[in-house]
Every structure is written in C-alpha cells, then in structure tokens.
Amino acid sequence: MSRTTKITVRDLKLWYGDFEALHGVDLDIYEKEITAFIGPSGCGKSTLIKTLNRMNDLVENCRIEGTVELDGKDIYSRKVELNNLRKRVGMVFQQPNPFPKSIYDNIAFGPRTHGIKNKSELDEIVEKSLKQAAIWDEVKDHLDRNALSISGGQQQRICIARALAVEPDVLLMDEPTSALDPISTSKIEELVSELKNDYTIVMVTHNMQQASRISDRTAFFLNGNIIEQDETRKIFTNPSETETDNYISGRFG
C-alpha cells in the first residue's frame, strides 16, 4: 500500500473516573483520507477523537493508557508541546462555536496565537482559509460582522476556516453537521470531500449515509471497542462482523 499512516492508536484505554470508556482500541488513520467513526451514542467515538488532539485533558479525572502516535511520535510524551500539537491537529465541534468577535478576528485568532502579527500576511491567511472553507463569497464583504450574526451553517464553515487558518495536518470533526439543516449539511459534506486533498480528516458521525457518502475508511464503535475498521465500501457492503452488519442495516442503535 502506498499510503502513509498519519495516526496510530495502540491499545488505548481511557477512564472517566472509574468508568472505562475505551477498552484498548487499535486504529490506523491514513494521510489525506477521510476516516469516519460510526456507532451508537456513548460508544466511545467522541471520546476517541478527543484523545487525538488531547482535548480530553480538559475533562476532569480523565486518564489513559496506551499510545497515540502522530507521524510516528507519541503525542502524550513529555516532549510534546501541547499548543503545538493542537496547531497540527485542528478540531471542529458539534455545535458551531465561533468567538463572539468579527469574522476576520475569528479566522485570524489562530495565526495570531502562533505569532503572525503582519496585517497583510493575516489578510492573506483569512482570505485563503475562508476560500478553502467555501464561504469566502458569502462573507467577503462583511468580514467585520460578528460571527454570531450569520446562520448556523455559515458559522460552522467559519469554524472550519478558523481551524484551517493555523495550517493543521489533521482535521478532527466531531459530528460537524448534527446541529445543521440538510442544505448546510450537504455544503459541509462537499467541503470535507474537497479538503481531503490537503488534509487528513477524522470525522465522528451519527449519520451512516454521511459516512458512506464521503469517507474512505470507516471504524465501527460499540461499547468502547472498535468492532471493525476497513474501507468504507467494504464496511457498508460486506462487513466481517455481525454487529457491524446489524448496526448498518438498522437492526439496533
């Protein structure tokens, strides 16, 4: 296989207090592909995606065992600089969460955080990111408007642009369309398919059609385990495990 592994998860266990939410997960995520996590609620998919940029550090009493490697380097090692890790692994959340600032300042926040002060450089990044997120045409004339004043679907694309502005390698998306209407959802799906040319994308979704439409690989989660991971086509047409089959054919979940 010619493709490169971007993220490797090995025997990852995770606890919230005494509750074990992941029971030793193994997973490979390949560069410039879309990997979808599917499975019923509470099965650990959101939990796992949060470990990939260490957002789980924000959760009280959360503890892990096992390894997560990005480009072959353990991201939980003491040598890793957390802010730099998060610059490389961007994230888009379920609810659009733009800052209550102007659209421009939303996009420029990341680059400014990482030391870019030059106005024309920032202008360039803002334009490029908004174009990449396919929202430039809609907002280019009012970049100074508060990002909260636009529609939810637009807000989510602003959040995607904001994540892209720091030039990450990986983009994590935790159910990015579950709070949006169908039209906004299809726009985002289109956008995501476009983005995989430049980024490695990991996406949690409740929507199996969405996973089958846009992802290259799919991992099926159940009760804190990955039951099966494979090419999306294979998972949806000819899964190896009966649980996967039951889930995708709608027999539970």
Among 11, 65, 144, 181, binds another protein (CB under 8 A): 65
Residue nearer to another protein on the CB measure, 172 or 248? 172
Q: How far is the CB of 44 from another protein (least distance, A)?
A: 15
Among 27, 29, 43, 110, binds another protein (CB under 8 A): 110
**Residue 23 contacts by C-beta under 8 Å, 6 or more apart in sequence?**
13, 223, 224, 225
For 104-233, where are the E strands, in sequence order? 170-174, 200-204, 217-222, 225-231
Helix, strand, coil in percent for the chain, rounding step 5: 40, 25, 35
Pattern 79-108, binding to another protein, x per CB under 8 A?
A: xxxxxxxxx--xx-x-x-xxxxx-------
Task: List the beta bridge partners of residue 229.
Answer: 219
- Is 36 a binding residue for another protein by CB under 8 A? The answer is no
Q: How far is the CB of 165 from another protein (least distance, A)?
A: 8
3-class DSSP state of 100: coil
Pattern 125-164, binding to another protein, x per CB under 8 A?
A: ---------------------x-xx---------x--xx-
CA atoms within 13 A on the CB side of 249: 10
**Interatomic CA distance for residues 124 and 136, integer angstroms:** 12
Give contact residues for another protein (rule: CB under 8 A).
51, 53-65, 76-87, 90-91, 93, 95, 97-101, 109-110, 113-114, 146, 148-149, 159, 162-163, 166
